[in-house]
Amino acid sequence: MTAITDAPRTPFAGMSPLPEASGKAGFGGALRSEWTKIRSVKSTIWTLAAAIVISVGISTLGNWGQAGHTSDTAAQLAARDLTFRSMFGIVLGQLVMVVFGSLAVTSEYATGMIRTSLAAQPRRLNVYFAKLVIVTVVAFVVGEIISFASFLIGTHFWVAKGVSLSLSSHGALQAVIGGGLYLDGAALLAFGIGAALRHTAATITVGVALLFVATIIVSFMPTSWQQDINKYLPYNAGSQVYATQHTADVGTALSAWGGFAVYMAYAVVALFIGLWVFKRRDA
């Protein structure tokens, strides 16, 4: 009988030997992986495109309709927060960003791809924070595109009515940047909820309830209750960051950054809960 010896580690003819595996699965690799995922999934691209079209489109239609049918003088219009009004589409855009934030984490649970991700990168913290970084950056860029486009298009209609409104107007630049930050916060809130619930429909339902339905429910409460609760609701608090006048007609008595801090507190709590579940529960 012929003795069986260890097979040589020589590759097939004409091929060079494969390098030995080395190194550890690090955060940089996780970032590259998450970036590849998010830009290669069609549903994500379409969701972000829808966010831009819906938000900017609603803002444009709203400003066109209001500017075209108002009988107020230029002085009366100038006394209003037209910067806030020019970005009206953010009200609906936030709901689409909730869908984006949800899909960024729940889609892998729906397909079972999360098991492959964690097998390739067993350090769960790296996976979670890589996803979080990518979602934060992408949502911020898209949010700022929406905010600036809505403002610049809306400005056109009000300038035609004799109102001087531009990025150099009092508080305008901060408010426009704040609009993008608000939309970013909506995506992060949904991301945290999605990591905790692991179900797309449930995540979107909870996100919409917090940002949209809660405000409607409180409006049916006694006036004294509304005054105490309204300013701490996610939308009312967060929307102050893209307002230049902080009075009752645009939300609450909170300041721009005070309201935004309250708004982001919701997202931070959701993200911590999501992280806890992501670390402890099996995929």
Helical packing angle, 124-159 and 27-40, nearest 10°: 50
Asked if pLDDT for residue 153 goes beyond 90, the answer is yes
Helix, strand and coil in the chain, % to nearest 5: 75, 0, 25
How many angstroms separate the CA atoms of 203 and 108, rounded?
14
Counted residue by residue, the chain has a size of 283
Number of other residues whose CB lies within 10 A of the CB of residue 118: 16
| Average pLDDT score, the chain | 87
Name residue, tokens 């691209």.
Answer: 45
Categorize the per-residue pLDDT at 17 as very low, low, confident or very high, splitting at 50, 70 and 90. low
Name residue, tokens 């099996």.
Answer: 282
Of these ranges, 16-20, 96-100, 213-217, 250-254, the one predicted with the greatest mean pLDDT is: 96-100
Q: Once rounded to an integer, what is the mean pLDDT over residues 134-150?
A: 97
The domain limits of the chain are 28-280
Number of other residues whose CB lies within 10 A of the CB of residue 174: 17
User: What share of the chain has pLDDT > 70, as a percent?
Assistant: 88
**Which pLDDT score is estimated for 283?**
62
State residue 80 phi and psi, 5-degree precision: -95, 165
How many angstroms separate the CA atoms of 197 and 278, rounded?
10
Asked if pLDDT for residue 179 goes beyond 60, the answer is yes
Asked if pLDDT for residue 92 goes beyond 80, the answer is yes
State residue 181 phi and psi, 5-degree precision: -65, -40
Q: Which two tokens stand for residue 261?
A: 């801090």
Q: Which of 53, 143, 59, 128 lies closest to 98 in space, CA to CA?
A: 143
